[in-house]
Amino acid sequence: MVVLKTKHYIKSICTLSKKDRKLATSQEQLLVEDVFHSKLHTKKLKGFPGSDKVYSFRITRAYRGIFRLSGENIILFAIGHRKDIYQSF
């Protein structure tokens, strides 16, 4: 699978602490290996346009990432605190 990162994702990952950025990078690698790896706690999201292929994954207890499956591509949209991330869409 190929990982594509949106500008919003790149901006939001830069706002994380160095420790959380490192964790995000390792979670991205797991995402490439297996989108539904147990360490990712991948959840299907509802209520988004095209939500049949939109998912969230856990980076830490507080941070989540949002991605979409598009054929053989994983499109990373955003990363942020779990209280705020779903409102940004």
Question: Structurally, how many domains does the chain consist of?
Answer: 1
Count of alpha carbons within 13 angstroms of residue 68, beta-carbon side: 16
pLDDT tens for each residue of 42-83: 999 988 766 678 999 999 999 999 999 998 999 999 999 999
pLDDT of residue 1: 82
Cα–Cα distance list, 75 to 21, 42, 52 (Å): 18, 14, 14
CATH code, domain carrying 42: 3.30.2310.20
pLDDT of residue 27: 96
For residue 74 the two structure tokens come to: 């994983």
Model confidence, pTM: 0.88
Cα–Cα distance list, 42 to 7, 18, 54, 83 (Å): 22, 23, 10, 17
Residue written as token pair 């901006």? 11
Q: Please state, in angstroms and rounded to a whole number, the distance separating the CA atoms of residues 69 and 19.
A: 27
Domain that holds residue 8: 2-88
pLDDT tens for each residue of 20-32: 999 999 999 999 9
pLDDT tens for each residue of 33-42: 999 999 999 9
